[in-house]
Structure 1
Amino acid sequence: MRHARDFAVTVLALAALGVVAGVLWSILAPRPPYVVTGRGPVLADPSTQALIAADGWFAVVTGAFGLACGAAGYSLSRRGRPLAVVAGLAAGGLLAGHLATVVGGAVNLGAVSVAAAGRNLPTVAGPLELTAQGVLVAWPMLAAGVFAALEGLAGYRDSPLRRPFGGRDPYGPISSYDISGGGPAR
């Protein structure tokens, strides 16, 4: 029962952070310029870099949240149920990334627009959306990756493989060697 609780708490905490990440992404990412025509809005400059920049800012924001969540999840799960927390980081990271795209597209706080190159038409800031869907996995991958790296470091630090032979020298203490003959002293 505690495993399910840890999983659910982790997913819900990351979902709440996904809303915050969406607002932050909305503030930071530029909007592509659109021209309003009789047929509706049309992308003013097909070679605009604003679409790519929006994906990049999404990856930066959700990646930073993923790193922080992975470290926090590791430090809070030291009680002995890390599997529930790391599964919650992966599932919650996916949910948080999706919520960040929905909230970021709906909030529209940072109406920074990139000007259309070589156009003298009035432009409006377009909607904020992802064009590269692969950046949705930045949050869960980095969160689970940081968790796994920290768990691996702690496991190595406590591992008996780090101190072979029980921490003793297999050849005995140095004082028992005959330096001139190259073997044990007799």
Structure 2
Amino acid sequence: MTALPDWMRPPRAEGWFAEDLDRLPEAPRHTELIDGALVFMMSPQRWWHGHLVTMLTVALMEQVPAGTRVGREMTIKLDPRNRPEPDLLVTTADFDGDRTWFAPEDVQLVIEVVSPESAHRDRTVKLRKYAEAGIPHYWCIEDEDGAPVVHVYELDEPTGAYAPAGIFRGTLQRPVPFEVSLDLDKLTPPRNK
């Protein structure tokens, strides 16, 4: 076994903190911080995942209201020990070309497209953490025989937890966080028969 490179060693006994991510240029792209531990996205990304994220980005950009933006592959600093990187987010933050993260209060919607290596984190860990940070809307998108299925959650403020708001196949129409209408079948290419 080879020794770990120095940059992989936590800078303190307590582990990593959110601001440490900006000082790790050697870390692989899409490195997240979950409970003070670095999480690397090392497995190859599936074409389905990348295509869906791209098409969804375009579709949402066409529908977000003025003063709202769609961000892709940017971290959210939930607290000092958690800085996950969702596939997409919708934010009210002003554009800043040097920005490397968003505050939860600037995020209206977080979208995770589930991959085999991220399934547990997307379905349970991030679901809980985004809710605890007060992000009002969360979509978790699953691959169902090549078609996207969107599990929609809304924050229940009295409990601070997400409540299921629907499972969408084919089309998704929602009045919140903004008026959105998506033809889910057009987000992925048809399969050859």
Q: Tell me the TM-score range normalised by the shorter chain.
A: under 0.3
Larger RCO (alpha carbons 8 Å, 6+ apart): 1
Identify, as 1 or 2, the structure richer in helix.
1
Identify, as 1 or 2, the structure richer in strand.
2
Q: TM-score, normalised by structure 2?
A: 0.22
Q: TM-score, normalised by structure 1?
A: 0.22
